[in-house]
A and B are shown apart, each in its own frame.
Chain A
Amino acid sequence: GAGVSQSPRYKVTKRGQDVALRCDPISGHVSLYWYRQALGQGPEFLTYFNYEAQQDKSGLPNDRFSAERPEGSISTLTIQRTEQRDSAMYRCASSPTGVDAFFGQGTRLTVV
């Protein structure tokens, strides 16, 4: 596609439910990143992939968070047993070189 596509754009879920956030990167981009962004602040790194391999997951807050990119393209960030503190904007980015990042519009997650 023309840009990084994320779905859903908005997700409201009840505390304790699992959620899956999807990212469709720019075609051909090798690297895919997940970030979390609080209002008015810069994105905070969660994890990234080169092709299908997860290279670094040091930014994932705890073991309720996981991510996969099984075929080296679309990626899913899953949050199990959601808590109110998980509410945030989750952003995906992709890169052809691993340096420049192109961001999607994000998924606004609200846990009630």
Chain B
Amino acid sequence: TQLLEQSPQFLSIQEGENLTVYCNSSSVFSSLQWYRQEPGEGPVLLVTVVTGGEVKKLKRLTFQFGDARKDSSLHITAAQPGDTGLYLCAGAPTGTASKLTFGTGTRLQVTL
């Protein structure tokens, strides 16, 4: 069974601070996604990374896929209250087209 461990589990910060969320596994993934989920809603896809070492930016969010495609990070610059939510990484195993394995989740709260 492939596991994705996220850290930290919980993060409470003030508006304007920077933060990094980590997603780690001992397994290699063909691609990795990051999702944000708000209470009562389904996860919403933020980004997909597919190449080892790849870096993608989405406004204040920067995503990086590890060189060995086993880990990823999400960095948020100048966090805002609207960033509050559950952040989930999800990996697609090498050699398969689907069947995402989701991480344990990081709950972020940004206060004024």
Contact = CB atoms under 8 A, between A and B. Distances in A.
Contacts of B100: 33, 43, 45, 101
B63 interface: no
Contacts of B40: 105
A40 B107 contact: yes
Interface stretch (A14-22, A66-74, A91-99): A91-99
Interface residues of B, number: 26
Nearest to B102: A42
Nearest to A33: B98
Given A40-B107, A105-B42, A31 B98 contact: yes
Interface of A: 4, 31, 33, 35, 40-45, 48, 50, 55-56, 91, 93, 95, 98-106
Given A40-B105, A43-B100, A103-B44, 9 more contacts: A31-B97, A31-B98, A33-B98, A42-B102, A42-B103, A42-B105, A44-B102, A45-B101, A98-B97
